[in-house]
Chains A and B, each alone.
Chain A
Amino acid sequence: MSEPLSPSERVAVARNPGRPNIPDFISALFTDFFEQRGDRLCGEDAGILGGIARFHGRPVTVLGTRKGKTLEENLACNFGMPSPEGYRKALRLMRQAEKFRRPVLTFIDTPGAYPGLEAEARGQGEAIARNLLEMSRLTVPVVAIVTGEGNSGGALALGVADRVLMLENAVYSILSPEGFASILWKDAGRSAEACGLMKLTAPDLKRLGVIDEIVPEPAGGAHLAPEIAFAQLDQALVRCLTQLSKPSGAALTAARYQKFRQMGTVPIPGKEEP
């Protein structure tokens, strides 16, 4: 690995429009992808892409937030900010994965859940809460990968997993650094300062016990040599799924419960004051 980037540099890399996104990961790592659409309640949200595919020959359900690359795509996907329909579609696909005993792989890259009028009226909070509850008891392996920026409950709604991986320069936080600075100091301009305090980088989150594994990126970021990032992620996913294929469904959910149960209760090594 090369010289590590500073937290605010990582935020910039994580948001780089050239960074591999979910369609790139799907075409590089999976075969036979079949896209599934709609929440079966009222709508379809292109801000979440999901479906069935094969990973090293094994059927899996793969889904995640989609930002789009061109402006047209950005608009269609609402810049990767899902609405309740998106979260409910994700839940539908995850439950289906459980029915057919497919592992679930989720890709997270979102500025957050969409804070709009209709999203609120259709229960953004309820949709996220429901996903958290239901993901915690899925009896199939669940692996989440934070690939870009993972902000707020809108990211966590796809993140209650047996293994949470993070690309080396991805960031994962309670809120965007701009939002954080504007809430805490009423000054979004102090976002670089916020980046330093928020502990949003992969090494920080590994230390805090929030993520399990860091997937190395090529020097300067995954956008400079995507195939290196793909190969690294492929290896990590093979390793995770091999480990998670052994335990029973009950053992998986019990371990997943304990994993999230202890967050924020265990003293953090090297971080605890006397």
Chain B
Amino acid sequence: MNDIFARRRQKLLAMKAFRDRQTHPDALGEACPHCGASSSRKALSAALYVCPRCGHHFPIGAYYRLSILLDPGSFRELGNRSAVFDPLQFPGYRKKLETAQRMTGLSEAVVIATGSIDGHKAVLGVLDNRFLMGSMSAEVGERVTTAIETAARQKLPLILFSASGGARMQEGILSLMQMAKTSAALARLDEKGGLYISVLTDPTTGGVTASFASLGDIILAEPGALIGFAGPRVIQQTIGQSLPEGFQRAEFQMEHGFVDAIVPRDRLRATLAQLLELHSKGGRI
């Protein structure tokens, strides 16, 4: 086997995941926004960035998420070009992109890769909220579409983790069109009988909700994740009253029929492994 290469890949992912964690709550000394508890660096990291006191799930970086999910040495990143695309020549956008790249070490707001979970190979895409709020740029749409097309071509299951504030305003209508592009790619995957598991994490809103995030054969969510099309502030302005407790949270979405299961972060790998296993061939009848 290609042990040396697997070890090298594992090391690379570990390095990228380590860099991710430089912006995680322990590194920033953040208190839990839900219960106010401040936890030690060690405790938070051991708990996969879930508040040990109240179970609040902190947002995590894309590489870190992959590092806690994938079998060691199985991570292979797909398209990761770091070209700066500014289709509308929007004032200040180039600089904003470059700053986001420098701050996060990411080239865009999504990482796509192949890897295996408990021996089941899959194509994965992970949106990263730290990069311009995980907003949908043309490059994000392109990478997500590439992930979908790769899954269809290689007959692999697809798992997409969403975390997005919605559209990338500076790319205007071309950001909007990524909703059509990714959804159309999912139609093709669907027709080929491909499995798509969508995992909704905090927050999943706007154009990502109104496209690929809502189209999974199976939809999972992390506890407490905000999931909706319109953001809470916009809704509040529209209806002129405050929103009910828990509105648009993962639990609300499950109650309203839009989520199959809420899975805490420490159960996610096992749950995905179970689902991939259930979609593999087998049985005697």
Contacts and interface: CB of A to CB of B under 8 A. Distances in A.
The SS class assigned to the B binding surface is: helix
Given A129-B211, A133-B186, A208-B174, A261 B230 contact: no
A67 to B, nearest CB: 17
B210 A128 contact: yes
Interface stretch (B19-27, B62-70, B105-113, B177-185): B177-185
Given A197-B90, A263-B174, A264-B177, A123 B258 contact: yes
Interface stretch (A18-26, A109-117, A223-231, A240-248): A109-117
Interface in B218-258: 227-230, 234-235, 238-239, 243, 247-248, 252, 256-258
A175 B210 CA distance: 14
Interface string A109-145: 0000111110111111110111011101100000000
Interface in B151-196: 167, 169-181, 183-188, 190-191
A129 B141 contact: no
Given A123-B257, A125-B210, A132-B179, A174 B172 contact: yes
Contacts of A130: 214-215
B172 A200 contact: yes
A154 B113 CA distance: 31
Given A174-B175, A208-B173, A129 B167 contact: no
Given A173-B173, A263-B174, A116 B191 contact: no
A173 B176 CA distance: 8
Contacts of B173: 172-174, 198-200, 205, 208, 210
A264 B178 contact: yes
Given A116-B238, A153-B207, A183 B180 contact: no
B29 interface: no
A265 interface: yes
Nearest to B182: A132
Nearest to A134: B187
B211 A132 contact: yes
A120 B169 contact: no
B239 A116 contact: yes
A172 B85 CA distance: 21
Contact of A121 (B170, B180, B210, B256): B256
Nearest to B205: A125
Contacts of A134: 187
B239 A117 contact: yes
Contacts of A210: 173-174, 177
Interface string B15-45: 0000000000000000000000000000000
B31 to A, nearest CB: 26
B210 A124 contact: yes
Contacts of A125: 209-210, 213-214, 227-229
A156 B180 contact: yes
A34 interface: no
- Classify chain A: how many residues form its interface, as a range: 35 or more
Interface in B74-103: 85-91
Nearest to A112: B230
Nearest to B238: A115
A239 B16 CA distance: 54
A197 B187 contact: no
A184 interface: yes
Contact of B210 (A129, A172, A260): A129
B145 interface: yes
Contacts of B210: 113, 124-125, 128-129, 132, 153, 157
Contact of A124 (B184, B229, B252): B229
A219 interface: no
A261 B228 contact: no
Contact of B184 (A114, A133, A157, A159): A133
A174 B90 CA distance: 14
A260 B169 contact: no
B150 to A, nearest CB: 14
B212 to A, nearest CB: 7
A152 B176 contact: yes
Given A116-B235, A152-B176, A261-B184, A123 B256 contact: yes
Given A129-B215, A130-B215, A210-B173, A136 B88 contact: no
Interface of A: 113-117, 119-126, 128-130, 132-134, 136-137, 152-153, 156-157, 159-160, 172-175, 180, 183-184, 197-200, 205, 208, 210, 256-257, 260-261, 263-265, 268, 271, 273
22 contacts: A114-B238, A115-B235, A116-B238, A121-B256, A124-B230, A125-B228, A126-B214, A128-B211, A132-B179, A132-B183, A136-B180, A137-B188, A157-B210, A160-B184, A173-B172, A174-B167, A174-B169, A174-B176, A260-B177, A263-B174, A264-B174, A273-B89
Interface of B: 85-91, 138-139, 141-142, 145, 167, 169-181, 183-188, 190-191, 206-207, 209-215, 227-230, 234-235, 238-239, 243, 247-248, 252, 256-258
